[in-house]
Amino acid sequence: MIRNTTSSWGSVARAFHWIIGLTILGMLAYGWWMNHIPARPDRFFYRSIHADVGYILLVLIALRLIWRAINPTPALPKDTPPWQRAAAAISHGALYLATFVVIGLGWAHSGARPQGDYGSFFGLFHVPQFTSPDKATADAFEDRHIFAAYVLLALIVLHTAAAAWHHFIKRDRIAARMVDGQPG
């Protein structure tokens, strides 16, 4: 089944979830590694790859939100307490918001970097930048980008813990339906 139903996630939504989720985890790990390797001449190369994948993530997340808007969202079980419904909605919204903030701050940082052309998308075309080169501004955006990435990581840990709680403790199908697409 490609589309979502009121009780299960379709294959497109599941593919978006796992591709975006694994890519974000990879970007967090890559960004941490990139900022902890000693300064070297090819550091610009690593930063440009990080930026290019960030642009791809931005497009994928926008497509995911469009897909989510035109498909039903599978319902939580009827016995789900109101506070859990609210927590689920808030945490999902926070994940999307934090991801956009991280990407936006990274994009702002790229444009503010005085050296290098971070606007070149894998050398194929130029990605417009919305900030002007300025070292102090670039440093500020970089600090905020890193902080927001840690906030995003904390939200991912919370999301994963909630999925594990549903699967291993509550033993409902909330988490499993994002894996197998079967009704919850």
Q: What is the pLDDT of residues 103-148, one digit of tens each?
A: 999 999 999 988 766 678 998 999 999 999 999 999 999 999 999 9
Q: How many helices (H) and strands (E) does the chain have?
A: 5, 2
Asked if pLDDT for residue 3 goes beyond 80, the answer is yes
CATH number for the domain harbouring residue 61:
1.20.950
Domain-located, residue 86 = yes
Which pLDDT score, from 0 to 100, does residue 135 have?
Answer: 94
Using 50, 70 and 90 to split pLDDT, how confident is the model at 43?
confident
- Structural domain count of the chain: 1
Which pLDDT score, from 0 to 100, does residue 51 have?
Answer: 94
Sign of CA dihedral 94, 96, 101, 106: positive
Domain-located, residue 4 = no
Domain-located, residue 5 = no
Domain-located, residue 67 = yes
